[in-house]
Amino acid sequence: MTYSHSNIIRYRAYGFRAVSARLYPALVREPARALVDTIFNRNRELCLVDHLLSGKSKVHHVLVRVQDLAGKIHLFCIFFRNSTLLDTNNLIEAMVPGRTWTGDILAVRAAAKNNVDGVVHLCSNDDILIDFAVRSLVERMTRGLRLCIPVYPVFCM
């Protein structure tokens, strides 16, 4: 896709950066680290995740809070595509036995100060927390339970 000169000028006010994320692709057996491009201006930061998630269906997202054993709350933004037209995710089937998930899942750490409008790099111990959050989210969604928005789900370890 080509950009005209006016588009370049219009987007000059925005900044770009990449943050690390955890990707659960449909056709592999291990999650992977991926870099997610973000675009931000003074008051918002948006993740550009369309190129990382396979398929043409709509990208959904949910903000999840995970409370660890020490009582600290961690915020994660989980992006996913779930449609019957997408490939079955073998990784999620291995993580959550008896549950079928179609499509990819991507998790990013949300910023603690402004939990809706920013994301930060993953820490070294976030993999365990994200695995727990994804497992709990998939279990809840495949049972047919709705996620209450704007009351974000809290999963305690």
Give pLDDT tens digits for 12-57.
456 777 888 999 988 888 898 888 888 776 666 677 777 778 777 7
Average pLDDT over residues 74-103: 85
Q: Residue 22's domain spans which residues?
A: 13-156
Asked if residues 14 and 39 have their Cβ atoms less than 8 Å apart, the reply is: yes
Q: Which of 18, 17, 15, 20 is nearest to 76 (CA)?
A: 20
2: in domain: no
Dig out the tokens for 103 from the structure.
């499509």
Question: What average pLDDT does the segment 56-60 reach?
Answer: 78
What DSSP designation does 152 have? -
Structure confidence by residue, pLDDT tens digits, 126-139: 899 999 999 888 88
Which amino acid type is present at position 25? Answer: P
- Enter the tokens of residue 74: 């961690």
Q: Please report whether residue 20 resides in a domain.
A: yes
pTM: 0.78
Residue 4 maps to a domain: no
CB 22 within 8 A of CB 106: yes
